[in-house]
Amino acid sequence: MPFTPYHWGPALLVGLALPMLFDLPALMVASVILDVEPFFVLFFNVQGYPAHAFFHSYLGASSLALLSIGMVVSLENPLRAIMQVFRLPRKPSFRRIVFSSFIGVYLHVFLDSFLYPDLTPFYPLQGNIFVNMLPADQSSAIIYGFSGIAGILGIAVYWYRLLRESRAKEKQMKTEQEQAKKLTTSGEDNLGEEVEKKDE
Ligand SMILES: [Zn+2]
């Protein structure tokens, strides 16, 4: 928060570029689920609880990774339908879902660590060693910029995958047509030979 969707940039890139390692829907859900915490704090005006508290630490995020796994597993059919709309075949594997969910939440903590002083990534240890690593007036621009570029690259990978798939289909159709042609010609030749033998 307030720019939750920026987390989808890196998720899109790694999820689309490395489908053998990541389950894209699990990665997309896990990479934003943490922002339920600041949403509640800001929306209900909760006093005395920081916007980025327990669930924005690696420990708290791990518990949300488990929740995310449960959600993705139970939403199997609607998620498959959404993936089909985008012409992305999905072979759900529990191992990939678990791996993607943990990577998704940890990536969220890591990126937010550079932005929010109230965030304690290594809770119960206090403090945030990352928050002063980037120049204070540029940290948002750097993190949002990085995520935006990752997202654009992710979309480029998506288009490349669609293009590669349609080329593979075209090639397969051509091969099938050629094979069918060969079969018809050899059938005609055989028929011709048989007729010649009968004539003899
Ligand atoms: Zn966050």
> Separation of 87 CA from ligand 1 center, angstroms?
30
Q: Which residues contact 181 (CB under 8 A, 6 or more apart)?
A: none
Question: Is residue 41 in a domain?
Answer: yes
Whether the ω angle into residue 2 lies within 30 degrees of 0, i.e. cis, is: yes
Residue 40, domain member (yes or no): yes
CA of 128 to the centre of ligand 1 (A): 14
For residue 172, tell me if it sits in a domain: no
Helix, strand, or coil here: 122?
coil
103: its two tokens: 């990577």
Does 116 reside within a domain? yes
- Residue 139: the pLDDT is 92
pTM over 0.95: no
Overall domain count for the chain: 1
The encoded tokens of residue 22 equal: 């990541």
Q: What is the pLDDT of residue 64?
A: 97
Q: Can you tell me whether residue 115 is helix, strand or coil?
A: coil
Residue 52 placed within a domain: yes
Residue 101 lies in a domain: yes
Give residue 195 CA to ligand 1 midpoint distance, Å. Answer: 80
Q: Mean pLDDT by 10-residue block, N- to C-terminus, for the chain (200 residues)?
A: 83 96 96 94 90 95 97 94 91 93 98 94 95 91 96 97 93 91 78 61
Please give the distance, rounded to the nearest whole angstrom, from the Cα atom of residue 109 to the centre of ligand 1.
Answer: 7
| Residue 181 domain-assigned (yes or no) | no
Range of the domain at 36: 4-164
